[in-house]
Amino acid sequence: MWEKLRRFLRSGRLQIEEPGMIYAPIAAVSLQPEPVDVDVKIILVGSVDEYYAVQEGDPEFARRFRCKVDFAESFTASAATRRAAGIFVAHTCRKMGLPHFSAGAVAALLEEAHREAEDQARQSAIFAHTEALVMEAAAMARAREATLVEAADVDAARLARIRRHDYPEQRLQETIVDGERLLDLGGEKVAQVNGLTVVDLGDYRFGFPVRVTARTHAGDEGLLNIEREVELSGPIHDKGVLILHSYLAALFVHITPLALNAAVVFEQEYSGVEGDSASFAEFSALLSSLANMPVRQGIAVTGALNQHGEMLPVGGINEKIEGYFRSCELMGLSGQQGVLIPRRNRRHLMLDRRVVEAVAQGRFHIWTADSAGEAMELLTGVLFGALDASGNYPEDTVLGRAQKTLQDYRRASQATAKPARKSKRPPAGLK
């Protein structure tokens, strides 16, 4: 289409042609209408990738289409934007002949807009979703013969929407209850951590916990990412694993090279993994294996790591927390369960009311951390460790115990190394 559009932009005349004639190997003889002079304004709508791809492929594109406008998916919330949102709801009701919304119902819509934007300080700019929720909530109010839509109607509409799409989530949660998927929600285990993932179905997404395990032993192959080896991981996940490997090497730079063979895997995961939000879960399982130190199984973790061990914010934080909460709820809340998230994700929390109530009652917990060391201390109950004056980690810390294991690995590797082969070449002068 771009070739024809470019020709039209140059000439201002529209040529009516048979479909595919421009690429036909033999031109068919047929009647052709005369070109038509056309004076129109052309607006192209597409993705960012498509825009830059066409611009790179044809420099004339930037000259013909000089005015570029980006569509924002969210905007900073304020009293003015909330008032404008209320006006939008009122106009929608008037236009469609729907019952109007109470102040509480508008507040519920605003809360959903913040949740969709995944930010307490920003609202979603996708007003089509708000309009659809307005229509569904109005239908709920009409079903109970009310003249005003209340907050309960908005909640009922939102719940009905979830129920129409959540069968895959229900089935996965059932596999945990039935024991098909292995998930420990209490006690302590070595080299085993509950990670948090998000499943995106396009029209619905949900969180689901998955077990991350690690094994380490003496060797010289370094860290093996099993998902990557079998091509079940994306490039961002591979990048996250390489970053955590770099951070691990930096922690023990004083005893490098590391005589280490290690493997990390997402258990019972067969559809692929993408994103770096599980890099801390992989790091904690790996370090737990090295230190032979158990971690709390009731705490599920999420968060990306940088090369300095800082925990970076991740996406889908609300779905991840709610997914793990549902698993704990189905298996029985013990009051010791919860999630550990990056502290920079606090502003993104827009949780379901049931989770908020459970946290307020102390039946579920949300912890935050700025660094991997702070998070490991929560998971293990032991100090992370810092280098002392002699350049080593104290023995009673997580890093101190991991350091001792790595030193044992080095000695084992040196003991099993083959001696250098002696040369069989005869002395000079002999044949």
Q: Which residues contact 249 (CB under 8 A, 6 or more apart)?
A: 256, 258
Task: Report if residue 121 sits inside a domain.
Answer: yes
Last residue of a domain, one of 135, 165, 195: 165
Q: 147 and 37 in one domain?
A: no
| Average pLDDT over every residue of 201-207 | 89
Two tokens, residue 59: 């420099």
Q: 235 and 351 in one domain?
A: yes
Q: 202 and 107 in one domain?
A: no
Q: 334 and 186 in one domain?
A: yes
Instruction: Give the pLDDT confidence of 279-305 residue by residue, as tens digits.
Output: 999 999 999 999 999 999 999 999 999
Phi, psi of 208 (to 5 degrees): -155, 130
| Average pLDDT over every residue of 309-319 | 94
Q: How far is it, in rounded angstroms, from Cα 24 to Cα 246? A: 56
pLDDT at residue 184, rounded to an integer: 92
- What's the pLDDT band for 141 if we cut at 50, 70, 90? very high
Cβ distance 205 to 118 under 8 Å? Answer: no
- What's the pLDDT band for 347 if we cut at 50, 70, 90? very high
pLDDT at residue 386, rounded to an integer: 92
pLDDT at residue 80, rounded to an integer: 96
Q: 402 and 311 in one domain?
A: yes
Q: 85 and 16 in one domain?
A: no
Please state, as a whole number, how many other Cβ atoms lie within 10 Å of the Cβ of residue 96.
11
Q: 393 and 244 in one domain?
A: yes
Q: How high is the mean pLDDT of the chain?
A: 89
Last residue of a domain, one of 64, 82, 115: 64
3-state helix, strand, coil in the chain (%, to 5): 45, 15, 40
pLDDT at residue 22, rounded to an integer: 59
Radius of gyration of the chain (CA): 30
pLDDT at residue 416 greater than cutoff 70: yes
Cβ distance 372 to 281 under 8 Å? Answer: no
pLDDT at residue 282, rounded to an integer: 93
Task: Report if residue 192 sits inside a domain.
Answer: yes
pTM of the model: 0.84
Q: 190 and 160 in one domain?
A: no
Task: Report if residue 279 sits inside a domain.
Answer: yes
Sheet with 365-369, strands from edge to edge, namely 222-225, 261-266, 205-217, 192-200, 299-301, 338-342, 365-369
Percentage of the chain surpassing pLDDT 90? 61
Type of residue at 31: L
Instruction: Give the pLDDT confidence of 208-217 residue by residue, as tens digits.
Output: 999 999 999 9
pLDDT at residue 274 greater than cutoff 50: yes
Which ranges in 118-218 belong to alpha helices (H)?
Answer: 127-143, 151-165, 167-177
For the stretch 72-80, contacts whose Cβ atoms lie closer than 8 Å and that sit 24 or more positions apart, written own/partner, are 72/125, 73/117, 73/124, 73/125, 73/126, 74/117, 74/119, 74/122, 74/123, 74/124, 74/125, 75/122, 75/123, 75/125, 76/121, 76/122, 77/114, 77/121, 77/122, 77/123
- What's the pLDDT band for 431 if we cut at 50, 70, 90? very low
Q: 349 and 246 in one domain?
A: yes
Last residue of a domain, one of 140, 165, 190: 165
Instruction: Give the pLDDT confidence of 168-203 residue by residue, as tens digits.
Output: 999 999 999 999 999 999 999 999 999 999 998 888
Beta-strand (E) ranges in 258-372? 261-266, 294-296, 299-301, 304-305, 311-312, 338-342, 365-369
Type of residue at 376: M
Task: Report if residue 425 sits inside a domain.
Answer: no
State how many domains the chain has.
3
Domain that holds residue 81: 74-165
Task: Report if residue 19 sits inside a domain.
Answer: yes
Q: 39 and 186 in one domain?
A: no
Tell me which DSSP letter residue 310 carries. Answer: B
Q: 335 and 191 in one domain?
A: yes
Q: How far is it, in rounded angstroms, from Cα 213 to Cα 184? A: 12
| Average pLDDT over every residue of 229-234 | 80
Task: Report if residue 417 sits inside a domain.
Answer: no
Task: Report if residue 130 sits inside a domain.
Answer: yes
CATH number at residue 323: 3.30.230.10
pLDDT at residue 421, rounded to an integer: 55
pLDDT at residue 54, rounded to an integer: 87
| Average pLDDT over every residue of 134-138 | 96
Instruction: Give the pLDDT confidence of 352-397 residue by residue, as tens digits.
Output: 999 999 999 999 999 999 999 999 999 999 999 999 988 899 999 9
Task: Report if residue 338 sits inside a domain.
Answer: yes
pLDDT at residue 299, rounded to an integer: 96
Type of residue at 396: D
pLDDT at residue 124, rounded to an integer: 95
Q: 293 and 207 in one domain?
A: yes
pLDDT at residue 20 greater than cutoff 80: no
